[in-house]
Amino acid sequence: MNPSPLKVAVLASGRGSNLAALIAARDAGALPVEFVLVASDKASAGALRLAEAAGIRALALNPKDYPDRASFDRALFARVAASGAELLVLAGYMRVIDAEVVAGWEGRAINIHPSLLPKYPGLHTHRRCLEAGDTEHGASVHYVTAELDGGPVVAQARISVGTSDTETSLAERLLAEEHKLLTAVVGAIARGRLHWNGSALFDGQPLAGPLTLAQLS
């Protein structure tokens, strides 16, 4: 058990529904974390408004103000580091991060992705799932590396794909599972059950495969 709440920073590019789920879990006493920063590459991101409403420091940096991606990423991650964050959560952050910058956060940054990785890295995961005729879809939480959606997967949640499912219906049903999965993984890290020691360990043991919500509960 950690003696004090885990300091968490969140990066998000959109409305921030996963952030909202994390804040709600914290407010309910189910998540022993302190949010020290929510940052975005879009000043209009809903996630920033959620942070402000919750009394969390919100920051927007414009990539166009920097000469290249690496310069932007260095500036952004310098602010994350200055916040005192012990864990960085990418929750709908839609930019690929410079490899050298990411390397400095090995084992301290996680991302939630709406597919059963290694299937469907990148965008349009629900459409690709339907086009492939998959009967199962899901979400993955993985440690962040330089490879797009390619870091070690630590947990997954699964849903069945119905014959009447559309991109919209599939996305909506999966989002509820994403919220639960990300909250559970952050909670496991905050409580010291899941940690990184060159690879992911859960309750002191190497992962045999992605953790499920049942294992994380």
Q: Which secondary structure element, helix H or strand E, spans residue 44, and what is its range? A: none
Phi/psi for 14 (5° steps) reads: -125, -140
Residue 130 contacts residue 124 (beta carbons within 8 Å) = no
Q: Is 203 exposed, middle or buried (0-12, 13-18, 19+ CB in 10 A)?
A: exposed
Please work out, in degrees rounded to the nearest 5, the angle formed at the alpha carbon of residue 121 by the alpha carbons of 116 and 127.
Answer: 75
Catalytic annotation on 126?
no
Residue 184 contacts residue 217 (beta carbons within 8 Å) = yes
Location of structure tokens 């969140």? 10
The two three-digit tokens of residue 190, written as one number: 């905050």
Catalytic residue among 113, 126, 142, 179: 113
Other C-beta atoms closer than 10 Å to the C-beta of 54 total 17
Q: Which residue spans within the chain are E strands per DSSP?
A: 6-11, 33-40, 58-60, 87-90, 109-113, 136-143, 153-160, 194-196, 200-202, 205-206
Annotated active-site positions, please? 113
